[in-house]
Each structure stands twice: as structure tokens, then as C-alpha cells.
Structure 1
Amino acid sequence: MTAIDPNLRRGPFRVSDRVQLTDPKGRMHTITLEAGKEFHTHRGFIRHDDLLGAPDGSTITNTVGVEYLAIRPLLADYVMSMPRGAAVVYPKDAGQIVQMGDIFPGAIVVEAGVGSGALSMSLLRAVGEAGRVHSFERREDFAGIARANARAFFGADHPSWTVTVGDLVEALPGAVEAGTVDRVVLDMLAPWECLEVVADALIPGGLVIAYVATATQLSRVAEALRDHGGFTEPHAWESMVRDWHLEGLAVRPAHRMHGHTGFLITSRRLAPGVTPPLRKRRPGRGYADVGTEEEWSAEDLGERLPSDKRVRRTARSIGEPPRLP
């Protein structure tokens, strides 16, 4: 595969570059530059040709005198505006996963649940071309959208990325050798169902981090990690981001904030044959006590799944033909 050219993220604007345009009211529009095309709003238009060759961080005035800031979008900007099949992992959570999951250059990482590829791109940036990200996605149409989004951002198919369409429990043992994976990232409905294959794949001291939407899922994952016996005591948290309004002396918190998006829970893989130290506090009732063995669905957890029609429309918009089972 072609190596990723870092110069695609710097230098003058070129054909096929994505450019973020911000108007005087702070409204943002992301366009892909093409020779001869125009970007229209209800207040005039901008010719793409006027941006080609301009330096990153330029300003441009449209046909009725409205001035726009033109700048390449950051990865955080890109994932919030790119075509979506499934919901994306927000940048605030992706940053936590990369940092608290200790995703390092050269790491071998397994990701379950690709969605639209937002988290995959953060993982690929962290491992670099010396590492490897093995992603697993049950839906082929979601996998196609994720590949197209990553290709548009990196400028080529990332050489460190493999996307497998299938169930993690069934596909992981054939994709990686046992005891060779450094990190496992689980963004799925029922992470507790795959802890056995995750434990087999991880190196001693390796880390698993799960991203779940509800407290019910969080509790179930924690109980399963403890019951397995091959992991350290799990640690869980969530992050919230509150922007601030900066206008002269009016410096105050913004009226809106990025509140709860999901919980994160981590645990480390113990060496073979090692049991975790005995917990000294009295455990509460677990799922084994209340008998909840039924299969969960996204609707049970309050998630709104995209319709097949919307996914097909998204796939067409990015030139990736949808492939449904």
C-alpha cells in the first residue's frame, strides 16, 4: 500500500484538499476543492479556483463581500462533519481512548465496531505506519463508509489498517496470533461477550478499553472482567467538555456543553496462570445474581440506529457502493 504523505496536511491548497470555511458569525462549511467549481450560499458564492494555491489559514471574500477564513480542518473537525453511516465516537472520547488506552507508535491494536471510522483514524494516527490496527465490523456497508472516510482524510488507504467484516468472536482468532495484541478497543453493544477471545489475543500486561453508552452496560462489563479472573480490577470514568464564551469582559461558560456521550472502562491482562489479588471490599450484587442472560439490542439501550436508506444515501455520496448482507 502507498505510504501516507504528511505534506497532504500542509502547504498551499490543492485540488482534492478539504477546506473549512468559517463566516463572520462562526458558521463553518467544509468543501472539497475542485477546479472550476463554486461554493454557493444564500449570500453569494466562492470560486474554488480562487482558493487553489492560497496558503493554509487564508481569508477569501465571496461575490457579495462576505469574508471567510479558509483553513484545513483538524481531525476533530473532520470527523464531526464527514459522511456518517453509524454514530461517531466524539473527539473528546477518542482523545481519552488514545491517551488512557496508551496507544503508542508501533502498537498492535484491535478495534471492534468501526462505525463511520472516526475512532479508527485516531488509532491509526497514534500507531503510525510501524503499528497495526485490525478493525472488525459486522456491517459491510458501515465498513465501506469508514474506509472511504479514512481514505478521504489520509489521501490514500492507510497501510497500517485492516478492516474485517464479521463478528469479533469468530474472526479475531484467525486474524491475529494469540498473545500478540497490545491493545483492544471495544465499541460495541455487549463487550462482555468477547472477553475470552480478547484475553487470548492480548499480551501479558496488555490493555482492553471499552466504550459503552449506558450505566447498565458499564456495570455488566465490570462484572464480566472480574468474573473472568484474568484481568486487573477495572477502572471506569466519563469526560465532559464545557466551552467558554470569550468576548471582552464577558468571559463565562458557554450555554451549551458536550455532556455525557459514553463511559470508558479499562483493565489490564494478567500473565497466564496469575490470579488477581483478593478484593478487600464487599462486592455488590452482580448480573449473575439477577439472571439477565438475554441478548441486548441497540433499541434496548436507547440508541437510534440509522435507516438502511440513510446508510445507502451516505455510501453513494462518498462513492462507496453499499454492500448489504
Structure 2
Amino acid sequence: MSEPTGTARRRGPFQVGDQVQLTDPKGRHHTFTLEAGKAFHTHKGSFQHDALIGAPEGTVVRSTGNTDYLALRPLLPDFVLSMPRGAAVIYPKDAGQILAMADIFAGARVVEAGVGSGALSTFLLRAIGDSGQLASYERRQDFADIARKNVERYFGAPHPAWKLTVGDLQDNLVETDVDRVILDMLAPWECLDAVYKALAPGGLVCCYVATTTQLSRTVETMRVMNCFTEPQPFESMVRSWHVEGLAVRPDHRMIGHTGFLVTARRLADGVEPPLRRRRPSKGSYGDDYAGPGAEAGDPAAS
């Protein structure tokens, strides 16, 4: 049985073509690709790539400037944060939440819209494996080209489960009976009709948006459509800690707000969700509210 795509590049001694992440004594990272006969140069001196080819991970190499560097393969979060970018990437903390809260499983049939630089595509492909299917849609050709190069650079070859289409999701979506849809775009509510048609009953849609106005419009549109379960909006924040002897405290900087996630499940054809037991608080839908609930004559808006 052959190994999943990219697995051979994640274990064993360093090989030509592998990505290597060097860490210097100050914790700074340098990432490069191993090539026979080449040299790695920094302001702290240089060393030959051949010194790492065939060596195990966790090797320490010394430059001509007498500086030691720890050599490891970059983890996927490291790779994503250092990859060439066209569009901003989804941070690993959000990608991890998407994989968990959208329940991305091995062999899943997934549709993704808004590929950007390919960060989330890489996370999704590693989760679904060669037996899954990922159909990605990106409006911009330049972003699609960057994403394809990044994904192939990580896996070492084109991934057999990936199909990348340049164009709008609404106009080009042909997949049906899919398990999950991930939307990373400015106006995900414009795609929800197409998403509903593509999802299998019980399938899940997950939207990634940056602002509270986008969050509100997405959630209210899902409610008005009456074909999804009650949307679940949330965000995550990551704070590292300083630990040095008895000096244990949170770091001064943290990864705070990067985006909101909204998840909802598709109902069976012809089924409407049960009425919400908790009514909106008075004033939630005031006279100045111009969201989809008001446009559709939602009783809560009156």
C-alpha cells in the first residue's frame, strides 16, 4: 500500500528537495529547500547543504561564522506562515478550528471558495487524504497560480484529491452531494443558495469572515433561508506564555482577532428548522435595521 501524498517528505533523514527550517540561538527561523552542492548564507556565515543531506532531523549545523543552527522540517503552521503570498493566509489557529468544528474527515468531499494563497487548501488536503475530494474555487488567476505552487511545494507534487477552478463559485459550482463547504470571501451570503444545492442533507457549511457586519449578514441570511440549522458564530484567540523559572506570566503579545467563523448544517429537502425558543431581545431588529431579516419580513424585525 502506497503512502499518502507528501508523507515521505515528512519523516526520515533529510533529502534533496526537502524544506528545512533553521532556528538560530535567538529563535529566529530561516526556511530553504535542500539542493546538492549549494550553500546557505546568512550574516552569521554559511554552510553547505550537503552537510544536512542524509542527516536526521534535529541535527545542529555550524556556520563559518561559528553560529549553531538547529535543523528541522517545518511544521505545516510554520510552512503556512512563511509561504509566498498573493492574498492574506488563514492563520493556523483558524485553520485548526475549521478542521475541528467543520468536522473535516478522511475521505470527505469538500468544496472551498476563496483559495487565496493556498494555506487552508493545504490543511484541508492533508485532512481528507488521497481518498477525499477538494474542489477549490478562486476568482483571481494570480492568486490561483500562487496557491497551486504553494500546495505542490508542500506535498512535493500535485495532490490527487485537488481540483482548482478559476472563477466564481456561484457560476462554476458543479459538485453535488458534498459533505462540507468552506467559504472564505467578502460576501459568503451571496453563495448560500449554491451551497445549499451542493451540500448533502446533514452537510456543513463554514464561513470565515473578518468583520462584524459580514458576520451579521451571513448569520441572518442563513436564518431567513430556513434550510439550515441555527448558525453558530464564534472566534478564537491564542495567547502564549513566558515560562522562566518562577517567572510564569502571559506574553505581552497575542494573536487576537483574525476572523469570525460561522457553521451551520443543511436540513433535508422540504424541512424547516424548529422555531427558536429564545426570542431576540427587544431592539435587536430596530427600525434602522436593514439586514436580510427585515427585507424578508421577519416577524422579529417588526
Query: RMSD of the TM alignment (CA)?
Result: 1.6
CA contact (8 A) 2:220 2:291 kept: no
Which residue number in structure 1 is paired with residue 300 of structure 2?
none
Which residue number in structure 2 is paired with residue 219 of structure 1?
216
- What is the rounded CA distance, in whole Å, between the counterparts of 1:26 and 1:263 in structure 2? 31
Q: Which runs of 5 or more residues in structure 1 are unaligned? A: 293-325
How far apart are residue 236 of structure 1 and its match? 0.7
- SS of aligned partner of 1:111: strand
Which residue number in structure 1 is paired with residue 237 of structure 2?
240
How far apart are residue 16 of structure 1 and its match? 1.1
Q: Taking structure 1 as reference, are residues 182 and 7 closer, same or farther at Cα in structure 2, changes over 3 Å only? A: same
Larger RCO, structures 1/2 (Cα 8 Å, 6+ apart)? 1
CA offsets per residue over residues 40-67 of structure 1, 9 Å max, x none? 1111112111111110111111112111
Q: Taking structure 1 as reference, are residues 17 and 287 closer, same or farther at Cα in structure 2, changes over 3 Å only? A: farther
Q: In structure 1, what residue type is equivalent to 2:175?
A: V
Q: Does 1:282 align with 2:283?
A: no
Q: Which runs of 5 or more residues in structure 2 are unaligned? A: 293-302
CA offsets per residue over residues 87-146 of structure 1, 9 Å max, x none? 000000000000000001111000000000000011111111111000000001101110
- What is the rounded CA distance, in whole Å, between the counterparts of 1:233 and 1:182 in structure 2? 18
Q: Taking structure 1 as reference, are residues 117 and 72 closer, same or farther at Cα in structure 2, changes over 3 Å only? A: same
The count of aligned residue pairs is: 287
Seq. identity, %: 64
CA contact (8 A) 1:223 1:286 kept: no
- What is the rounded CA distance, in whole Å, between the counterparts of 1:239 and 1:214 in structure 2? 14
What are the equivalent positions in structure 2 for 1:1-325 lying under 5 Å apart? 4-172=5-173, 175-177=174-176, 180-283=177-280, 284-285=284-285, 289-290=289-290
- What is the rounded CA distance, in whole Å, between the counterparts of 1:59 and 1:44 in structure 2? 15
Which residue number in structure 2 is paired with residue 305 of structure 1?
none
Q: Taking structure 1 as reference, are residues 291 and 223 closer, same or farther at Cα in structure 2, changes over 3 Å only? A: closer
How far apart are residue 280 of structure 1 and its match? 2.8
Q: Taking structure 1 as reference, are residues 270 and 41 closer, same or farther at Cα in structure 2, changes over 3 Å only? A: same
Q: In structure 1, what residue type is equivalent to 2:290?
A: V
Which residue number in structure 2 is paired with residue 314 of structure 1?
none
How far apart are residue 286 of structure 1 and its match? 8.1
How far apart are residue 288 of structure 1 and its match? 9.6
- What is the rounded CA distance, in whole Å, between the counterparts of 2:207 and 2:4 in structure 1? 30
Q: In structure 2, what residue type is equivalent to 1:144?
A: D
- SS of aligned partner of 2:103: coil
- SS of aligned partner of 1:133: strand
Q: Taking structure 1 as reference, are residues 141 and 288 closer, same or farther at Cα in structure 2, changes over 3 Å only? A: farther
